[in-house]
Amino acid sequence: MTKSRSFDHPALRRLLQQAYSAERAAAFAYIGHAGSLKKPDEVDRVREIEQDEWDHRKHVLEIMEQYNIPASRWLELKFYLIGKVISFSCYFIGRFMPYFFAGKLESGNVCEYFVMIRYFHEVEIYDHDETLHEMGVKEKEHEVYFQSVIENEPWLPLFERLFGWGKDTTLNDVELEDLKSPEDSADYCPGRK
């Protein structure tokens, strides 16, 4: 492990803390999501995605520890409650909405990791490009999966208009068929901070 060091970039510190806490909220949400589903293949896939979120939380913590960045107690509490509420609600809001909002959430999370790469480059740190790239790509894979499950749902056009995400709309510019290298992935999500 790299020796502990620090940097002066408050936005990056905050983004790491937020990602760390939000990954647990997402994992909690997917526990409820998987529990509310009936098709075994869908249950298995959502459980895989839940495990990806736990893995991301672990990787973000490893990065934070290198720079002596503590978890935010406030964000931990806030996202714990959010994750538990979403998990519980999945049992009552039907099949479509958990898939839709999970897809929209993942779509936004894609940029989170590429913005981190850009921020690390601003303080001349390039050690985490590959790990952050992999996590951003994994979030994109989640988004694509959720889009595919609901692409023919009758509610999707209305929700896409209302919430700005759906079959033909995404919150990031990552294309799985034409991925940039980890070194060049700081170019993703221009304008996102």
Percentage of the chain lying above the pLDDT 70 cut:
98
Q: Residue 106 falls within a domain, yes or no?
A: yes
pLDDT tens digits along 74-90: 999 999 999 999 999 99
The torsion of the CA quartet 38, 139, 102, 175, rounded to 10 degrees, works out to -100
Report the domain count for the chain.
Answer: 1
pLDDT tens digits along 139-165: 999 999 999 999 999 999 999 999 999
Q: Residue 192 falls within a domain, yes or no?
A: no
Q: Is the pLDDT score of 1 beyond 80?
A: no
Q: Residue 177 falls within a domain, yes or no?
A: yes
Q: How many contiguous H segments (helices) and E segments (strands) does the chain have? A: 6, 0
Q: Residue 142 falls within a domain, yes or no?
A: yes
In this prediction, residues 106-125 reach a mean pLDDT of 95
CATH number, residue 134? 1.20.1260
Q: Residue 59 falls within a domain, yes or no?
A: yes
Q: Give the mean pLDDT of the chain.
A: 95
Q: Residue 1 falls within a domain, yes or no?
A: no
Q: Residue 4 falls within a domain, yes or no?
A: no
Q: Residue 41 falls within a domain, yes or no?
A: yes
Question: What was the pLDDT predicted at 193?
Answer: 79
User: Which residue matches tokens 């999966």?
Assistant: 145
The torsion of the CA quartet 37, 29, 186, 1, rounded to 10 degrees, works out to -110
Range of the domain at 69: 10-187
Please name the residues in contact with 74: beta carbons below 8 A apart, sequence gap of 6 or more.
none
